[in-house]
Each structure stands twice: as C-alpha cells, then as structure tokens.
Amino acid sequence: MNNNIKNQFPIFSKNKGLVYLDSASTSQKPKVVIDKLVEFYTEYNSNVHRGLYPLSEKATDEYEKVRETIAKFINAEPNEIIFTSGATEAINGVSRSLYSSGFINVPPKITLTDLEHHSNVLPWQDLQPEMIQYLGLDDNYLINDTKIFKDSDIFASIHASNVTGTIIPIKEIITSNENAYSIIDATQSIAHMKIDVKDLDVDFLTFSGHKLFAPTGIGVLYIKEEIMKELNPFKLGGGMIDEVTRNGSTYASGPTKFEAGTPNIAAAIALAEAVRFIDSIGFEEIKLSEERLRLYLLERLDEIENIEIYHPKNVTGKEALAVVSFNIEGIHSHDISAYLGEKNICVRAGHHCTQILHRDVLNVPASLRASISVYNNEEDIAKLIEGLKGAIKIYKK
C-alpha cells in the first residue's frame, strides 16, 4: 500500500531516491493538499468575514466548513475550534489567556513532563510560576507517574514525544486531576492516531497542521465550550469585535473572538483537505503500516554497534509512535546527518527543541531522529541502515 500512497506525494517524483525520515519535523504534502492551495488562490481568493460579494462569500463558506471538518476529526463541536498559526501560537495564547482571565492562581503551579518541546515550556515559565513539576521518564522512556501535584493549576503536556515517540497516558492523568486545567499538545500524534477530545476530557488541545500533511502557518486550538465563553482573547484586532467605541470595545463570541486579523485562509482550506486525505486511508491502516515499520526500524538499528536508542522497548503502538532517536558512540549526530544528507536520506540531528530531555534525562547534547509516516516503506529503512554503516566507516578514519 505504501507505494500507492507515496505516489500521491509529488516531492518523491521530483526528488528521485529521496528517503524522507523527518516527518516529525514536518510532513510532506499530498497533491490534493497542494491543489487545494492553488484552487483557492486561482479561483476564489478573497478575504473572509468581510466582503458581501460572491468570492468572499465562497471563501468564508469554505473557511467555516473547515471548522466543521476539524471538529468532526477530533470529536469536538465547530464552535470549539480556533485557527492559529500553529501549536506554538496556541500554547502561548492559552497561557496568557488563562492568566489574564483570572482562571489560575498568581503565581500558578504548573505540571509539565520531562519530554516537553520548548513551545510547551517557555510560555509557562513566562508566567513566573510558583512551581513547575516535571513528570519524569522511567528507564524504558515511558511516563508512568500520573500523580500531579494536588494543587496544580495547570497540567500541560505533549500527547506524544517528538524525540522518543512515547505516548503519554494523558487520559489517566487528566481524569485523576480534575482541578487542573489540561492543555494537550497533540502536534506529534495527530497524524498517527485517532484523537477524541471528549474521550480525553481535555480542556485545551492544539496541533500544527504542517505535521498533518497540511501547509505551514495553520494550526488548531480546541477549547472546551464552557471555558471558551469566559476566556479572554489572546490577540486583539480586526475581525474579532462586537463593537468598538472611542472609550472601549466589546468582543465577538465563540471562535471569532480568538481570531483577530486576517487568517491563513488558503492553508485552513488545505488543512481540511489533509484531514480528508487521512480519512481516505483511515487510522487503522496508518497505524498498521507505521507500527510494522517502527518494529522493523528497531530491529535493523540493533545491527549497529555502539548505538544508544532512546525509545521504549517491548511496547506496542499504543505506547509509542514511530519516532526513534539514537546516538552512535563516537560520532557526532550532526556529522551522521550530514553524511546521510549526501545520500539523500533526511533525518534530523540536534536537541529537537527538547533541551531539558537531552541534557537532564538522556545526558547528551544532541541525538539523531528517524520518524516515520504513511509514505515510508522498508526500503527507506534499509537505506538508512546502509547509510549509518557508511557513516561509521567514514568517521573511523
């Protein structure tokens, strides 16, 4: 099935032999998504919520339909879906709005995990909390500790790690800590597993579209309806007002309140197409294919001597995504990724915006990461392994 899927991504026919194992950074885009962008700009480009002429009505209509598509995708209501530029903007916004709306104690107590991406650390540190608790990883790169501080105001966590692939048991953590607001960053998991915000009973959930086969510059923030009603907006400006007077203003209600300024209309419309693309394959099929490759990757990495793998052992796809980081002793990860780059094999080297995890838990400054998506196959992994063996030969000199 994977070749069939690969053929739907033009980048692979334009770059013969490309081995793309960096989907955790950003996913490639299927032709249907690229076509959607072109369609918007060539057929009905205009601003939304403003013009009363047919083009603008069509743009507004298509843009609002995306809300419905996304709501269905994560089992939310359309009026609980806000468009942002990505997860980073969403988390920054939520942290500020929680603070400015008086929802949390000042200074707040916050619970995060050791696996957080910097985008889910810095906005919370910026609130100058009284305390930040980090749920720790066990020896198998899993988070088993679901006990957060009783009086935590906020539990903010990634859903799955962009380094170890670890899936965090957020449902258990959320249900056992009902007093804390829960903010989940599903940026890594969204393209790989079904997310149901009602089942998770999460208060806020965000993801960036570009890891979900959609363009960059579009993201989603889900806010539970009863919270959204009382929450202050985090951006102010055009398009989000009810009435503006010289002395003060009132805001629109619902998602509009949070979408000041002209949104990324084309990318939003293409995001809905990306969701339809995922639906056309189905998460069952996606999981099956990615899980098979995850296990194959782990088996093949075992052939490499002096390798340290940062990924849970003996777990199923319920506990880990196909994101595997590692280091080969004695060779810097940047050198390996540069060598692999020469062979048209794309993996990421660095701390992957997780310095706390790298420095304090893994005790290394950087690592290499291979991440798998629907368009990958066994051949990609075989080429990676061959490339790693080649790099070892080069750097033995």
The footprint of other proteins (CB under 8 A) covers: 306, 329-335, 338, 342, 350, 365-366, 390, 392-397
N- to C-terminal Cα distance for the chain? 41
Task: Measure CA 154 to chain center.
Answer: 20
Among the candidate windows 47-55, 86-94, 260-268, 295-303, which touches ligand PLP by CB under 6 A?
Answer: 86-94
**From the list other proteins, ligand PLP, none, partner contacted by residue 87 (C-beta under 5 to 8 A by kind):** ligand PLP
Binding mask 228-267 for ligand PLP (x = CB under 6 A): ----------------------------------------
Distance CA 110, CA 283 (A): 33
**CA 363, 364, 369: angle at the middle one, nearest 5?**
125
Residue 14's CB is within 10 A of a number of other CB atoms, namely 8
Distance CA 38, CA 30 (A): 13
**From the list other proteins, ligand PLP, none, partner contacted by residue 188 (C-beta under 5 to 8 A by kind):** ligand PLP
Residue 275 tokens read as: 């969701």
- Of 20, 66, 86, 154, the residue at the interface with ligand PLP (CB under 6 A) is 86
Residue of 184, 151, 153, 148 lying closest to 168 (CA atoms): 184
Which residue number, 276 or 343, has a Cβ lying nearer to other proteins?
343
**From the list other proteins, ligand PLP, none, partner contacted by residue 334 (C-beta under 5 to 8 A by kind):** other proteins
Q: What is the chain's Cα-based Rg?
A: 22
Name the active-site residue from 122, 252, 281, 353.
353
**From the list ligand PLP, other proteins, none, partner contacted by residue 372 (C-beta under 5 to 8 A by kind):** none
Give yes or no for residue 123 binding ligand PLP (CB under 6 A). Answer: no
Give yes or no for residue 203 binding ligand PLP (CB under 6 A). Answer: no
Which amino acid, 115? L
- Total residues at the site for ligand PLP (CB under 6 A)? 13
Question: What are the CA-CA distances from residue 375 to residues 15, 292, 310, 311 (Å)?
Answer: 14, 13, 23, 22
User: Rounded to the nearest 5°, which phi and psi values hold at 163?
Assistant: -120, -55
Q: Are 151 and 179 in contact (CB under 8 A)?
A: yes
Residue of 180, 140, 139 lying closest to 157 (CA atoms): 180
**From the list other proteins, ligand PLP, none, partner contacted by residue 88 (C-beta under 5 to 8 A by kind):** ligand PLP
Which residue number, 188 or 327, has a Cβ lying nearer to ligand PLP?
188
**From the list ligand PLP, other proteins, none, partner contacted by residue 323 (C-beta under 5 to 8 A by kind):** none
Distance CA 273, CA 294 (A): 27
Which residue number, 220 or 381, has a Cβ lying nearer to ligand PLP?
220
Q: Which of residues 364-383 bind ligand PLP (CB under 6 A)?
A: none
Residue 42 tokens read as: 């060539």
Give yes or no for residue 95 binding ligand PLP (CB under 6 A). Answer: no
Cis peptide before 30 (omega within 30 of 0): no
Q: How far is the CB of 25 from other proteins (least distance, A)?
A: 16
Q: Respond yes or no: is residue 353 known to be catalytic.
A: yes
Which residue number, 211 or 351, has a Cβ lying nearer to other proteins?
351
Which residue number, 60 or 162, has a Cβ lying nearer to ligand PLP?
162
Question: What are the CA-CA distances from residue 92 to residues 87, 116, 241, 380 (Å)?
Answer: 9, 14, 21, 36
Q: Which of residues 160-189 bind ligand PLP (CB under 6 A)?
A: 162, 185, 187-188
Positions that interact with ligand PLP (CB under 6 A)? 86-88, 117, 119, 158, 162, 185, 187-188, 208, 210, 353
Please list the active-site residues. 353
